[in-house]
Amino acid sequence: MKKLIVTSMVGVLLISGTVYADEQQEVLTPESELYETIRLIENNEYELTEAYEEKALLQDEYADRRLEEMEEVLKEEDQEAAERLIEDYNEHIEEINKNLELGRGLGNDITNVESLVAQNSLKRSENLSTLLEREDIPEEAKEGISKAIENQNQVSERLAEALEKASQAREQAEERANEAREQAEERNTQAREQAEERAVEAREQAEERANQGRGRAKEREER
């Protein structure tokens, strides 16, 4: 049954893929006939993705789309659609944070993903702030945008903290690695010195025994 469901999802993606690619040059809004199809593709794509860091990147991409769609519907003064998109946007932000936390919890190195998401988050915060300053946007929509900015800033702060911790962890790991190399080199140096000392002692003892042997041989000859 599960195999059948997955196969059906893949079929939807394949059938809709061409339409989706063709429409990427323009921003689709909820009024578009293809909008529900695009959202279905997003949901299927997300459900078929297993790695948490990949899921976070998908939600990051979806957040960008919702923001673009939000800007379009605000131009058309469609407040109801804008409010729905703001709610969707906030859900994407929450999913980004959740997936990144799950990825970190597994011990995965997701620093590159976190850096990319942090950069995109900064751009989205700037765009949201620009929207908030517009005088033609209704107060109800501005309240939603303010909440979106707050959520975005919280995620950005958590990302900054995670990146800082990752940087500190790398520095500590490098320090430990350097200390380990230095200790290993010191042990190797000591081992070489000890081996050289033993070799010198062995040569001296061998020469002493040889001299003693020659001395005894000469005594026997003299007798």
Range of the domain at 69: 50-182
Is 65 within a domain?
A: yes
User: Does 155 share its domain with 176?
Assistant: yes
Q: What confidence tens digit (pLDDT) does each residue in 28-75 have?
A: 899 999 999 999 999 999 999 999 999 999 999 999 999 999 999 988
Q: How many Cβ atoms from other residues are within 10 Å of residue 119's Cβ?
A: 12
Question: What pLDDT is stored for residue 194 in this prediction?
Answer: 83
d(CA 118, CA 64): 13
Q: Which pLDDT band holds residue 138 (cuts at 50, 70, 90)?
A: confident
Collect all residues with Cβ–Cβ distance below 8 Å to 89 and sequence separation of at least 6. 63, 66, 67, 70, 148
Q: Which two tokens stand for residue 154?
A: 């919280």
Question: What pLDDT is stored for residue 18 in this prediction?
Answer: 47
User: Does 33 share its domain with 76?
Assistant: no
User: Does 128 share its domain with 143?
Assistant: yes
Q: What confidence tens digit (pLDDT) does each residue in 182-204 have?
A: 777 778 888 788 888 888 888 88
In this prediction, what percent of the chain has a pLDDT beyond 90?
A: 31
Is 196 within a domain?
A: no
Average pLDDT value for residue range 150-163: 76
Question: What pLDDT is stored for residue 170 in this prediction?
Answer: 67
Q: Which two tokens stand for residue 3?
A: 């195999």
